[in-house]
Amino acid sequence: MKTNTSGAADHRGPLRIGEKVQLTDPKGRLHTIVLEPGREFHTHKGYLAHSALIGASEGTVVHTTGGVPYQVMRPLLEDFVMSMPRGAAVVYPKDAALIVTFGDIFPGATVVEAGVGSGALTLSLLRAVGEKGTVHSFERREEFARIAAGNIEDFFGGAHPAWQLTIGDLSEALPEAYGPGEVDRVVLDMLTPWECLPAVTRALAPGGVLTCYVATVPQLSRMAEAIRESAAYTEPRPMEAMVREWHLDGLAVRPDHRMIAHTGFLLFARRLSDDTTPLELHRRPQGSEPSAVDREAWEGGEITNEAIGVREATGKKLRRVAREAGRRSRVEQAAADENHTRTTEEEQ
């Protein structure tokens, strides 16, 4: 089978032996099979011979012996990730898309990933760096590494030339693999990413992007504080993604009842030069120690906008807002008055 680094196979031409194909029935249920001569796909309403698909064009509709139609497509990366064997929880496509974009994974980049899990995120990273880049995955558990390797080879139809795998602890293995500033991007998907921060900081080039994927608020908070304390990065940028599809059926257009809500938190930060200090942002951290003025205001029963971090509007702004307030009602009232006058004149 002809393979390339943009997907599981060459996505042009007829379907070939050994390719994965996705069959969709009239109820939207998906079935993924590997085309093999002499094999059959069986359902409770007849069967479909693989030979009827081999050599056929993608995007056709075929029927089982019982007359049930099936739409035939090559599976997309999303389809593969959501159905592939899992040794560990996968990074959902919605999060992988943000990691590739906000983490700025570019063709030819040297990317370090830890841990590899089941290889879901690795697939997106490999697609982004291309054949001339490098994705070096570090995984502590050998069984996870084996599953990931199988999934990656399965998707790309063989070993990807840009992928390297090291079984071991990132803190110990990374300094042996790369010198200072030799890594462009780092993606950490692990339980305690702050433990690896010194090794990551040494390997990451100035301007490089550190991306962390964590599941809980305590992990997010602790990693953000570790990044700040290192004084080697820009202010960390946290986010999460929630994706909701819509139901489209005639005039019944509404959000779906189900959605992929919280899966994990993402944290992005950029490596600073060793000879500089982080830019101090002028803002009041919500968890900061209250000042003497704050304490006096609280103890005296006085609560001010300044004490709770709310900016007080200036007199000029208040006057402008006052002019804008009620503008629509005044326009509508003027129109009503004009209509009333016109009607009165016509009656007379």
Are 99 and 213 contacting, i.e. CB atoms less than 8 angstroms apart? yes
Task: Indicate if the pLDDT at residue 255 is higher than 90.
Answer: yes
Give exposure, 249-266, as e/b (b: 16+ Cβ within 10 Å). eeeeeeeeeeeeeebbbb
Nearest-angstrom CA–CA distance, 71 and 63: 9
Say if residue 315's pLDDT is above 70.
no
- The answer to whether domain 80-270 has CATH 3.40.50.620 is no
Q: Which pLDDT score is estimated for 328?
A: 37
Q: Tokens for 170?
A: 């990132």
- Res 283: pLDDT: 64
The per-residue DSSP string of 152-194 comes to: HHHHHTS--TTEEEEES-HHHHHHHH--TT-EEEEEE-SS-GG
Q: What is the pLDDT of residue 2?
A: 43
Q: CA 93 → CA 166, 260, 281, 343, distances in Å?
A: 24, 11, 33, 63
Q: Which residues make up the CATH 3.10.330.20 domain(s) of the chain? A: 20-75
Count of other CB atoms within 10 angstroms of residue 301: 6
pLDDT band at 1; cut points 50, 70, 90: very low
Q: What is the pLDDT of residue 295?
A: 56
Alpha-carbon span 220 to 226, nearest angstrom: 10
CATH topology for 20-75?
Vcp-like ATPase; Chain A, domain 2 (3.10.330)
Amino acid present at 226:
A
Closest CA to 122 of 143, 96, 84, 159: 96
Chain region(s) in the chain for CATH 3.40.50.150: 80-270
For residue range 168-191, what is the model confidence (pLDDT) as tens digits?
999 999 999 999 999 999 999 998
pLDDT at position 90 is: 87
Cβ–Cβ under 8 Å, residues 62 and 72:
yes
Q: Are 29 and 72 in contact (CB under 8 A)?
A: no
> What pLDDT does residue 321 have?
35
